Amino acid sequence: TQLLEQSPQFLSIQEGENLTVYCNSSSVFSSLQWYRQEPGEGPVLLVTVVTGGEVKKLKRLTFQFGDARKDSSLHITAAQPGDTGLYLCAGDASNFGNEKLTFGTGTRLTIIP
Amino acid sequence: DADVTQTPRNRITKTGKRIMLECSQTKGHDRMYWYRQDPGLGLRLIYYSFDVKDINKGEISDGYSVSRQAQAKFSLSLESAIPNQTALYFCATSELANTGELFFGEGSRLTVL
């Protein structure tokens, strides 16, 4: 079973601060996805990274896939209350015979106005 | 209207009762999934189906069964509910396995007393 550990599990910061969330595994993934989940809703895809070392930007959010494709990070610049939510990474090992996503343990982010 | 609809949204039941959670989708996707979400554990896969004639066990299928009645419908059953099945359950669909985005329903919160 592939495991994806996210850190920190909980993070509460002031509006305007920067933060980084990590997603780590000992397994290699062919791609990695990041989802955000708001209360009472299902997760919604933010981004998919597919190439080792890839960096993708989505407004104030920067996503990076590790060179070895075992880890990823999400950096938020100048956090806003609308960024509050549960952030989940999910690894796809379908190129290695596992045709389903493995989800991380989640980071619950709270931005204080 | 939501593309992936789950019913019921909330259910409280007693130990030993049979429970069915239903999922229907209007996205036209072949692939459907049932996940369970518990705090600190992320999303764990219960069962998945790649088409109407295909049913596969996920990592935590014990105590659950599923039925794929049509391309658009995928139901999850708990034959004899127990308290540790208290959780938030999500149905999801996808078009592709490799790097395919998952589209989630709004979740069904189940409490087993």
pLDDT tens digit string along B86-111?
A: 999 999 999 866 567 899 999 999 99
B104 and A101 in contact by Cβ < 8 A?
A: no
- Of the candidates B48, B54, B43, the one whose C-alpha atom is nearest the C-alpha of residue B23 is B48
Q: Tell me how close the Cα of B109 comes to any Cα of chain A, in angstroms.
A: 10
Residue B109 near chain A (CB below 8 Å): no
A45 and B101 in contact by Cβ < 8 A?
A: yes
For residues A70-77, average pLDDT: 96
A105 and B40 in contact by Cβ < 8 A?
A: yes
Q: What pLDDT was estimated at residue B46?
A: 95
Residue B2 near chain A (CB below 8 Å): no
B107 and A42 in contact by Cβ < 8 A?
A: yes
In A3-70, the DSSP E strands lie at: 5-7, 10-14, 19-24, 31-37, 44-49, 55-58, 61-65
B103 forms bridges with which residues in the sheet?
B93
Q: What pLDDT was estimated at residue A95?
A: 63
Q: What does residue A82 show for φ and ψ, rounded to 5 degrees? A: -70, -10
Cβ atoms of B100 and B2 within 8 Å: the answer is: no
Q: What is the dihedral of CA B89, A34, A58, B4, to 10 degrees?
A: -30
Q: What pLDDT was estimated at residue B41?
A: 82
Cα–Cα distance, B48 to B101 (Å, whole number): 15
pLDDT exceeds 90 at position A55: yes
B33-72 pLDDT per residue, tens: 999 999 888 899 999 998 888 999 998 999 999 999 999 9
List the structure tokens of A71: 């880890």
Residue B5 near chain A (CB below 8 Å): no
A3-14 pLDDT per residue, tens: 789 999 999 999
Q: What does residue A83 show for φ and ψ, rounded to 5 degrees? A: -80, -10
B58 and A100 in contact by Cβ < 8 A?
A: yes
